[in-house]
Structure 1
Amino acid sequence: MDHPSDFESFKNEIKAALQNNDQALAAAKIQQYLDQENKIPLNIAITGETGSGKSSFVNAFRGMENGDEGAAPTGCVETTLEVTPYPHPNFPNVTLWDLPGIGSTSFPADEYLEHVGFEKFDFFIIISDTRFRENDVKLAREIQRMKKKFYFVRSKIDHNIRDAERSQRKNFNLERTLAQIRENCIQGLQKQGVESPQVFLVSNFELHLYDFHQLEETLERDLPAHKRNALLFAMPNVSLEIINKKKKAFQAQIKYIALGSAAVAAVPLPGLSVVVDVALLVDAVTQYVVGFGLDSWSVQRLADTTHVPLKDLTDIIVSPLALTKNNP
């Protein structure tokens, strides 16, 4: 079930069951609704030229580092020779597909999309670490012809910033440098016939900087409403805006959890409501722990990347269900 009309049907069935005082059916439908909402598939295609940083982007998006177990292999040469799925470690309904660079295949753009199975992807992210080349533009046009969404991501921005700082020294200005990189990419795409291109500047090693948040907002806005939470929950917690959006999304589910609890409480079976309430509570809180990155693996990764001692982070976490093991 991954279509918005299916969810409307679920809601109507829940409403009808409650109106008919069939609490057992209502509770079952509510649980089914919550389970299905958390299983909506989202398939993201990552493509670009050889060495552009595709695999590193796949890993960063999934909250992993290059070299972690289960991470996409990276390197200076083309490491992706076949279409390779990488499910999100915490939200397996979200899959990033590392595609071979179009420049590393013998397929023209239209046959390339057929080769990688374009129909299963919700959208494409085209990555380049320099300027976007002819193959990128041909691929974008073909994706558009297939009526799919695509987005240009300019990677390795941290390298460019470091180089600019060294060469310009006292004259270095971060905002001016970023604007120049973005404008150069846009102008290059326009010269190749791409109308009004959007280019997002991203560092795979510092997602909280530059344009990753704008990319997230754009993807969320362009997705069908019933798939937005799948994207949001899988997003790394790299900004306060993303965390607050997750908070609102989880809050929207609470009414269904409460409704399910109330429906079960009305079923005349001794002890049933207690069992269901505990199960609902544990399931919901576990989702919150994972969604906000409070499981043990995520907290350890946060300590490593921020250089804050692990104990300092764990001391401020009060939920007894946090810090559970959640290995990717």
Structure 2
Amino acid sequence: MAMEEFQVAIHQGNLSDAISVVQAKPLQYFSDTPLNVAVVGEPGSGKSSFVNSMLGKRAGEPGAAETGIQATTAMAKDYRHPTVPQLILWDLPGKEDAAFGSRVEQVDLNRFDFFIIVGYQRFRTVHADLVHEIQAMGKRFYFVRAKTDLDLEASRRRQPTGCDEEKVLQRIKEDCVTCLLNEGVIDPQVFLVSNWDPQSFDFPLLWEKLQSDFLWLKRQAFIVRLPSLSAPVLERKVAALKRKILLKVLFSGLLALLPVPGFSFVAAMFFFVRFRSQCYREFGLDDQSLTALARDIGKPVAALHAVMKSRPLMPLILWRLPDLVGAVLMLVEYCSWNRYPYAGSLLSGGVSLFTTYYMLQRCVVAVANDTQNVLSKALEKTTV
């Protein structure tokens, strides 16, 4: 199983193998992976009616989404497709709905694998915002122009005798494509539909396109989840490393008792840097491992380093500043009181015990978090 092989590679600290295990699997391997598709757009655009058309249901039937003239969706609701159980459609509240700020804001769009943006009449700012948000997550979408039958009816009223329906439809689609291109979308997928007649316009083409992309989208969804799926393995590694901290902390505290002003700071930073290097090797974030990973995914090592929050040393140096209190007291005892710096040594040892324990604990957690950050960065090439 790819998941077991992936977790074994993560446990061994081999991120390159962890990613290649999944990427090497054929598309058919992901056939049982669920695909969560969020249907989004402004209120009243026909999202719920679109969901019903995708499900093959009419409004009011058991299992159908609630529809109405006014916005009816107040919270996200999922609908499993009756013939394609791995396809789960989510009917989300309108982006501009008054309820959006208070209730829908809690819906995390990151949990959805794919998006269908539903609009009508014209391309709006809300659509552009959704496009940017979806692309920022490295995910994909279709743009559906709903209520196309109403657009045609309006055109016939304006031109009762000279209405060219094909040109009207072409103009609507070209306008949508142009707007999406202006928002930086590469190869925009636009479909004109009527929710009342799923057999007309581009609805059959939309379903055909979704079916052709289905396995690829499910593979993408699986890969996007990999960083979070690594969490149990990383938690076990964190627990194992934390158990090794106590001995290092005690040794650092004993060294800090030596009556040499500033020695506790130097010794603690030395042991910390060594411990962090050990953590990097355990989690596969050392320079050699990152170089191999960068080569395999075709990214510069600097791009992986950039997402690692544990690399800067300055915050850690600031945490060691309390060591200076013990150093100053030692100097005072040496120079002013002309005696052995008992108080300074004891203070230095106590401070070192506390700060070293805290720093090493934070280091382990930070490196584990960096492992997930690096995985997410490495997988961007696959998911964009």
With the shorter chain as reference, the TM-score category is 0.5 to 0.7
Q: Write the deviation string for residues 169-221 of structure 1: whole angstroms up to 9, x where unpaired.
A: 23122211101111222334445555553321011112222112332343334
Structure 2: runs of 5 or more not aligned: 4-28, 220-384
Aligned to 1:216: 207
The alpha-carbon deviation at position 105 of structure 1 amounts to 5.3
Paired residues of 1:137 and 1:194 also in contact (CA < 8 A): no
CA 1:137–1:225 in 2, change beyond 3 Å: closer, same or farther? closer
Evaluate the alpha carbon distance shift between residue 97 and residue 170 of structure 1 in structure 2; reply closer, same or farther with a 3 A threshold.
Answer: same
Cα distance in 1 for residues equivalent to 2:57 and 2:208 = 21
- The structure that has the greater radius of gyration is 2
User: What's the counterpart of residue 166 of structure 1?
Assistant: 157
Give the equivalent residue in structure 1 for 2:128. Answer: 137
Compared CA separation, residues 90 and 199, structure 1 to 2 (3 A): closer
Identity of aligned residues (%): 44
Q: Which residue of 2 aligns with 1:42?
A: 35
Pair 151,37 (structure 1): closer, same or farther in 2 beyond 3 Å: closer
Amino acid at match of 1:67: G
The Cα shift of 1:117 comes to: 2.8
Residue 161 of structure 1, CA deviation: 1.5
Structure 1 residues 94 and 186: CA distance shift in structure 2, 3 A: closer
The answer for the alignment partner of 2:79 in structure 1 is 86
Whole-angstrom CA distance in 1 between matches of 2:128 and 2:203:
22
User: Cα–Cα, structure 1 residues 96 and 203, in superposed 2: closer, same or farther, change >3 Å?
Assistant: same
Aligned counterpart, 1:120: 111
Give the alignment's Cα RMSD to 1 decimal: 3.3
Tell me, in whole angstroms, the C-alpha distance in 1 between the residues paired with 2:87 and 2:187: 29
| Shift in CA distance, 52/223, structure 1 to aligned 2, threshold 3 Å | same
Counterpart among 51, 54, 73 of residue 58 in structure 1: 51
Shift of 1:224: 3.3
1:226–1:44 Cα change, 3 Å = closer
Equivalent residue, structure 2, for 1:309: none
1:148 maps to 139
Q: Within 5 Å, which residues of 2 pair with 1:1-328?
A: 5=2, 40-104=33-97, 115-191=106-182, 194=185, 196-225=187-216, 227=218
- For residue 164 of structure 1, report the CA deviation from its aligned partner: 2.0
Structure 1 residues 232-255: Cα deviation after superposition (integer angstroms, max 9, x where no partner): xxxxxxxxxxxxxxxxxxxxxxxx
Paired letter, 1:49: E
Distance 1:147 1:105 in 2: 28
For 1:82 and 1:102, the matched residues in 2 are separated by 11
CA change 1:142–1:89 in 2 (3 A) is same
Inter-partner Cα distance in structure 2 for 1:227 and 1:203: 27
Query: What TM-score results when the alignment is normalised by the length of structure 2?
Result: 0.45
User: Aligned letter for 1:148?
Assistant: K
The structure with the greater share of residues assigned to helix is 2
Number of aligned residues: 196
Q: Distance in 1 between matches of 2:51 and 2:67?
A: 10
Distance in 2 of aligned mates of 1:226 and 1:78: 30
Distance in structure 1 (CA, Å) of the matches to 2:100 and 2:50 = 24
Paired with 1:147 and 1:119, the residues of 2 have a C-alpha distance of: 10
Structure 1 unmatched ranges of 5 or more: 7-35, 229-328
Distance 1:226 1:150, change over 3 A: closer
Q: 1:80 to 1:168 in 2, by over 3 A?
A: same
Q: Which amino acid aligns with 1:224?
A: L
* Change in CA separation of 1:211 and 1:86 when aligned onto 2, cut-off 3 Å: same
Q: What is the SS of the residue equivalent to 2:171?
A: helix
